[in-house]
Structure 1
Amino acid sequence: MRLYLLFFALFLFKDISAQKIYGTVFNSNGDLLPYASISVKGTTKGTSANDKAKYALNLAPGTYTFICQNLGYTSAEKKLTVTIDTELSFVLTEQKLSMEAVVIKNGGEDPAYEIIRNAIKKRNFFANQVKEFTCNIYGKDLIKLKTLPKKIFG
């Protein structure tokens, strides 16, 4: 009976020290931004938003900096003092990436061919590096018989 009371007390009071931070992630147009990652700066704690762009994270009371990131968007940071369950939503702006012009030249050789030629040139050198090789191997096999011999099973 005491054991049951102990477990009940543990589950009853476990949420006293943890506060729930929850929210939604949006883009700058107000559309939902699913699967964004939300992490607590300086810790290993974090979570990901679900397919409805909602997330939840349990933390002990204190002051934290939250970082929200998603591929193709600039990351956002918000500092918050956590004392009670709090809603914290993020709005991420699209990150525009550009690159310089790409020049594609015709007639170049695949660099793998040079690597293969060098390996062929040195094959005798590497073949003579190791005279013998031994190792212990553990193998586990399964053998299936299509027909059973009468001598084994009678």
Structure 2
Amino acid sequence: MSGAIEDILRKDPRVVHLEPAEKWEMPELDATQFSSRRLGYVAYAYSMMCNILGYHYLVDNITGQRDSEREAWKEELTRTYGSEVNDYFEKNSIKVNSLAQLIKFSEMLTDQYIGQNREVLVDMISSLKCFEDALRAYRSKTPDERLSIAKEVKKKSYEILKTVTRS
């Protein structure tokens, strides 16, 4: 995260919490653990998961159906401080789309996985999919609840990523 933009956001009254991404070591993809017919698909899902797992946490106090308020705030900051600030909004672990994508890409990898940890993965995916209901009600959650959900989804997704890359 850029220090200058981070300082600006930390001073903004709408920002409740700003935290860098976890420093996870991303495992290497082993193509032999996946169906050979869908390796491009697998590589894409793996790459996207690695990207999203590297997103920071930017929690604001805008709750409910107030997306237009968040968009206006983002546009104001972008006009004032430049396009770099946009990355803080787009590469944000708190975004419901980021979390939904992690679940989807975790499922994609699991579906194509042919390694020895298949049964473990099925249980892990079930545990991760339990968050889908929370994501549907995400807008009504408090900032602390959204942060907690985001961290759990990322943690479980990372565990799945480690499991599918383990031989």
TM-score (norm 2): 0.24
* Greater RCO structure (CA 8 Å; 6+ sep): 2
More helix by share: 2
TM-score (norm 1): 0.25
- Work out which of the two has the higher radius of gyration on C-alpha atoms and give 1 or 2: 1
